[in-house]
Structure 1
Amino acid sequence: MDYTWQYYDLLLLGVVASMGAGAAVAALTLVAATTSVFAAGLVAVALIGHGLFVNGPVGGAEDLTDVVEALN
């Protein structure tokens, strides 16, 4: 069974990679840990925001009406 990477898999990988990069910068350079992890956190927030608001998990309003009708 082959697994294909989806958009949200790559998004989560990007969040983990950005936070790991922030920790690595803090450990390997003279940049303060608070500064590097904060900057990496901003990158992670930008990725999450893109996943939620730009390329959201629903295609449009009609996707939401199907869920609401199923609950009634």
Structure 2
Amino acid sequence: MVYTWQYYDLVLAGILASMVLGVGVGYLTTISLTLSVIGAGFVAVAIIGHGLFVNGPVDEPGDLTGEVEALN
């Protein structure tokens, strides 16, 4: 079985990459660790926002009107 990358796999990888890059910048440059992690956090929030609102997990707006079944 061959695994194919999906959009949300890339979203998760982008979040991880931005945070790791923020820590790397904080340790390897003169920019403070706190500032670089906060900046990376804003990038991660932008990636999450794109995944939720620009390219959401529904195919069409009609998918949002269906009732949710109770968890058993």
- Is structure 2 residue 49 aligned with structure 1 residue 49? yes
Please give the secondary structure, in 2, of the residue aligned with 1:71: coil
Q: Percent identity?
A: 59
Which consecutive unaligned segments of at least 5 residues does structure 2 have?
Answer: none
What is the CA distance between 1:65 and its match in structure 2? 3.3
What is the CA distance between 1:62 and its match in structure 2? 1.9
**Which residue does 1:6 correspond to in 2?**
6
**Which residue does 1:25 correspond to in 2?**
25
What is the CA distance between 1:29 and its match in structure 2? 0.8
- Is structure 2 residue 62 aligned with structure 1 residue 71? no
Cα distance in 1 for partners of 2:30, 2:57 equals 39
TM-score for both structures, normalised by structure 2: 0.88
Q: Give aligned pairs, total.
A: 70
TM-score for both structures, normalised by structure 1: 0.88
Report the structure, 1 or 2, having the larger helix content.
Answer: 1
Cα distance in 1 for partners of 2:21, 2:69 equals 43
